[in-house]
Chain A
Amino acid sequence: MPEPLLEVRDLVKHFPLPRTLLDAALRRPQETVRAVDGVSFRLSRGKTLGLVGESGCGKSTLGRCILRLYEADEGEVRFGGVDLMRLDERELVPFRTRMQVVFQDPYASLNPRQAVGHTLLEVLDVHEIGAPGERRERMAHLLTQVGLSPGDAHKYPGEFSGGQRQRIGIARALAVEPELLIADEPLSALDVSIQAQILQLLLDLRTSLGLTMLFISHDLRVVRYLCDEVAVMYLGRIVERAATEDLFANPRHPYTIALLSAVPEVWSRPRDEIPIEGEPPSAMRIPRGCRFHPRCPWKVERCLAESPALERVRPDHEVACHVATARPAAGLPEAPAARPETAPEG
């Protein structure tokens, strides 16, 4: 197996909640949001990994820890074999250009008072990309690459539509010729027709530039379309990871199965309802044992006490579920009968 471009090992990021004087006086225990709670994965060069999960599952925090926008508490983030968490700011600088990020809301990350061409030139200047005389040409090329025209360089972010701004966000990320692109919900704020355009753009760029991509999303439909492999997160942990086709064809974790069955699809009859109950619990009060057990229709006694680790059930397919790993060939038993959508608190 070749060295992965990115390897994350046992990453942990907890956020302590602010304490009031009253909390201290009453000696209440410190509460913590366990946003990322022991995550490991490898991402090979040229591949795209989709990180999916619902709000609060820790997927964005994980992305930010990898970029060192957050300092993780424990674990390793190895990029090209180097553990980024051991580097100081100065040592980190060369890595800043090797990985780039695209956020959901490009408007918030663009300077509204600066023409976009200027923004791009600034990136090229700061990171000394190419010879100074060639940077204008390179800036024009970047705009063309993301489907804008060089003439757009003198426009301000406010003059662009949401989809076009996302193109600018992508152009800025690509300006430094990164090896890894982390895209955090880059399509979520966009309308369907525009979303498809940006999706196609990401797909084309990945092929033409050989980008490695970590694609963070709540949308399984988009992930299916774009990613080579998928990791499903639930309450700070990866509960299932597999090659995309295999994950969608043979989902094994009850949560993955439920997520897939909940996607409103065109062209397919409503699926058999998977009766997962309630809503995800808060990341401050993660259930004992398997963190999914309060909502799981398949739970057995062991799930209440013992937290399952990711185990291989098929080639290139790992699941963290006692029930699923006990039946690696067969998958889960028949789903228990669906109950009405009434749900006890998770």
Chain B
Amino acid sequence: MSEALLVVEDLHVEIPTRRGTVEAVRGASFTVERGETFALVGESGSGKTMTCRAILRLVHPPGAITRGSIRFQGRDLVHLPEREVQRIRGTTVVMVFQDPMTALNPVLTVEEQITEAVPRSPSPASRRSRALELLRQVGMPDPERRLGAYPHQLSGGQRQRVMLAIALARRPALLVADEPTTALDVTIQAQILRLIVRLQKEYEMALILVTHDLGVVYQVVDRVAVMYAGQVVELATKADLFAHPRHPYTIGLIRSIPSVDRRRRLTPIPGIPPDLVGLGPGCPFAPRCAWASDECRAGEIPFLRVGEGHWSRCLKALQVGAAADA
């Protein structure tokens, strides 16, 4: 059996601060197949963004990957020399961010930024026409005129389209999108999400969508990893995750989302997420969990297989699941 496109195993990322070491990622494990749509879901501080940055080796010092492995197309990204990583970054693995304004260069035109990403060999004229083609593919209104525009002259949605055009220039195998629509209005968000999904199919890329919005997850992805306090606490297909959640945090999240379709009762999760400095042993969700018992607070919680391709980091996964299904 050939290995998945991306295999993340027991990833740890730590960031030393004046208050102590922030354990941003504490043992994240998951795989992403070729062409798959995968979501990393979690709230602020859950480690989802840091996990993605680690995949691109964009953890800035003093932060560092302290343990674990990231294999992409069979190569170990954690120990690859920086020069090799640079070759992969921006070509086979690309990332788009929540705020394209800070990711785009404010003093270069759209054309300059896209052609910079287009492979060197073709002539300037053909690079220009490739840039134009890319802008068309990302649905940029009036693409000829937009080639000469600067980022500040574009709307948020248009900037995100430019980011996608740049990302696609090298036909990457993996697109990592970190909250790509969070800063956008809901009608524009819908346009950009549809666009990302269409491009992903056309380019046969794998997609890691990082988001806090379970609605977006439900509408877009195949498989989901739910993150909490630096760990993947549940990993499942979308259908399983929403119909048969097996972790109390996932259940809490699902019950926290209001819906436009019907007025369901909301059951908020009590309390707040833990401080990631000096987290002790035991389940980090235990203080907010109705099912927690002494054993949950005692030691390391294993990532348990609870079904076909379904994993949960909860000792009570089966009881919790039975209650959720009922």
Contact with B along A325-346 (1 / 0, CB 8 A): 0000000000000001111110
Enumerate chain A residues within 8 angstroms of B270, measured Cβ to Cβ: 197
Q: Is A54 in the interface zone, CB < 8 Å from B?
A: yes
Q: Is A264 in the interface zone, CB < 8 Å from B?
A: yes
Contact (Cβ within 8 A) A192 B142: no
What residue in chain B is nearest A342 (Cβ atoms)? Answer: B139
Enumerate chain B residues within 8 angstroms of A243, measured Cβ to Cβ: none
Enumerate chain A residues within 8 angstroms of B126, measured Cβ to Cβ: none
What residue in chain A is nearest B268 (Cβ atoms)? Answer: A196
Enumerate chain B residues within 8 angstroms of A200, measured Cβ to Cβ: 266, 268
Contact (Cβ within 8 A) A276 B187: yes
Selecting from A95-103, A126-134, A216-224, the interface stretch reads: A216-224
Q: Is A266 in the interface zone, CB < 8 Å from B?
A: yes
What residue in chain A is nearest B158 (Cβ atoms)? Answer: A279
Enumerate chain B residues within 8 angstroms of A10, measured Cβ to Cβ: none
Enumerate chain B residues within 8 angstroms of A284, measured Cβ to Cβ: none
Find the residue from B187, B242, B257, B272 having the highest chain A CB count within 10 A. B187
Contact with A along B119-144 (1 / 0, CB 8 A): 00000000000000000100101100
Select one of B186, B198, B263, B269 contacting A263, CB under 8 A. Answer: B186
Contact (Cβ within 8 A) A262 B254: no
In the assembled complex, the Cα of A248 lies from the Cα of B261 at a distance in Å of 7
Select one of B43, B155, B198, B217 contacting A191, CB under 8 A. Answer: B43
Closest CB in chain A relative to B185 CB, distance in Å? 4
Select one of A55, A220, A343, A344 contacting B191, CB under 8 A. Answer: A343
Enumerate chain A residues within 8 angstroms of B214, measured Cβ to Cβ: 192, 266
Contact (Cβ within 8 A) A196 B269: yes
What is the number of residues of chain A that contact chain B, defined by CB distance less than 8 Å? 44
Q: Is B303 in the interface zone, CB < 8 Å from A?
A: no
Q: Is A195 in the interface zone, CB < 8 Å from B?
A: yes
Contact (Cβ within 8 A) B268 A197: yes
**Which residues 243-278 of B sit at the A interface, judged by CB distance below 8 A?**
252-261, 263, 266-270, 272-273
In the assembled complex, the Cα of A265 lies from the Cα of B190 at a distance in Å of 11
What residue in chain A is nearest B43 (Cβ atoms)? Answer: A191
Enumerate chain B residues within 8 angstroms of A196, measured Cβ to Cβ: 255-258, 266-269
- The verdict on A193 contacting B260 (CB below 8 Å), with A265-B215, A345-B142 known, is no
Q: Is B26 in the interface zone, CB < 8 Å from A?
A: no
Contact (Cβ within 8 A) A341 B260: no
Enumerate chain A residues within 8 angstroms of B220, measured Cβ to Cβ: 264
In the assembled complex, the Cα of A208 lies from the Cα of B43 at a distance in Å of 30
Contact (Cβ within 8 A) B257 A259: no
**Which residues 269-303 of B sit at the A interface, judged by CB distance below 8 A?**
269-270, 272-273
In the assembled complex, the Cα of A344 lies from the Cα of B139 at a distance in Å of 9
What residue in chain A is nearest B183 (Cβ atoms)? Answer: A55
Contact (Cβ within 8 A) B187 A193: no
Q: Is B193 in the interface zone, CB < 8 Å from A?
A: yes
**Which residues 47-91 of A sit at the B interface, judged by CB distance below 8 A?**
54-55
Enumerate chain B residues within 8 angstroms of A224, measured Cβ to Cβ: 258-260, 263
Enumerate chain A residues within 8 angstroms of B255, measured Cβ to Cβ: 196
In the assembled complex, the Cα of A9 lies from the Cα of B187 at a distance in Å of 29
Enumerate chain A residues within 8 angstroms of B258, measured Cβ to Cβ: 196, 199, 221-222, 224-225
Select one of B194, B259, B269 contacting A265, CB under 8 A. Answer: B259
What residue in chain A is nearest B41 (Cβ atoms)? Answer: A192
What residue in chain A is nearest B185 (Cβ atoms)? Answer: A54
Contact (Cβ within 8 A) B188 A279: yes
Enumerate chain B residues within 8 angstroms of A55, measured Cβ to Cβ: 185
Select one of A54, A263, A280 contacting B260, CB under 8 A. Answer: A263
- The verdict on A225 contacting B266 (CB below 8 Å), with A192-B43, A276-B187, A341-B195 known, is yes
In the assembled complex, the Cα of A193 lies from the Cα of B191 at a distance in Å of 26
Contact (Cβ within 8 A) A262 B43: no
Q: Is B213 in the interface zone, CB < 8 Å from A?
A: yes
What residue in chain A is nearest B189 (Cβ atoms)? Answer: A262
In the assembled complex, the Cα of A41 lies from the Cα of B325 at a distance in Å of 44
Contact (Cβ within 8 A) A192 B257: yes
Enumerate chain B residues within 8 angstroms of A44, measured Cβ to Cβ: none
Q: Is A258 in the interface zone, CB < 8 Å from B?
A: yes
Enumerate chain A residues within 8 angstroms of B12, measured Cβ to Cβ: none
Contact (Cβ within 8 A) A220 B186: yes
Q: Is A260 in the interface zone, CB < 8 Å from B?
A: yes
- The verdict on A264 contacting B272 (CB below 8 Å), with A224-B260, A343-B139 known, is no
- The verdict on A54 contacting B187 (CB below 8 Å), with A264-B193, A266-B218 known, is yes
Closest CB in chain B relative to A231 CB, distance in Å? 16
Select one of A248, A262, A270, A344 contacting B187, CB under 8 A. Answer: A262
Enumerate chain A residues within 8 angstroms of B252, measured Cβ to Cβ: 193
In the assembled complex, the Cα of A302 lies from the Cα of B130 at a distance in Å of 42
Q: Is A30 in the interface zone, CB < 8 Å from B?
A: no
Closest CB in chain A relative to B290 CB, distance in Å? 14
Closest CB in chain B relative to A310 CB, distance in Å? 21
Contact with B along A185-216 (1 / 0, CB 8 A): 00000011111110110000000000000000
What residue in chain B is nearest A278 (Cβ atoms)? Answer: B141
What residue in chain B is nearest A338 (Cβ atoms)? Answer: B194
Contact (Cβ within 8 A) B268 A263: no
Contact (Cβ within 8 A) B139 A221: no
Contact (Cβ within 8 A) A221 B260: yes
Enumerate chain A residues within 8 angstroms of B189, measured Cβ to Cβ: 262, 264
Interface residues, chain A, CB within 8 Å of chain B? Answer: 54-55, 161, 163-164, 191-197, 199-200, 218, 220-222, 224-225, 248, 258-268, 270, 273, 276, 278-280, 340-345
In the complex, the 9 A-B pairs of residues with the closest C-beta atoms, listed nearest first: A264-B215, A196-B256, A196-B268, A191-B43, A262-B190, A54-B185, A342-B139, A225-B258, A221-B258
A264-B189, A273-B194 given; 16 more Cβ-contact pairs under 8 Å: A191-B273, A196-B257, A196-B258, A196-B268, A218-B185, A224-B258, A224-B260, A225-B266, A262-B186, A265-B215, A266-B242, A267-B259, A268-B261, A279-B187, A280-B185, A341-B192
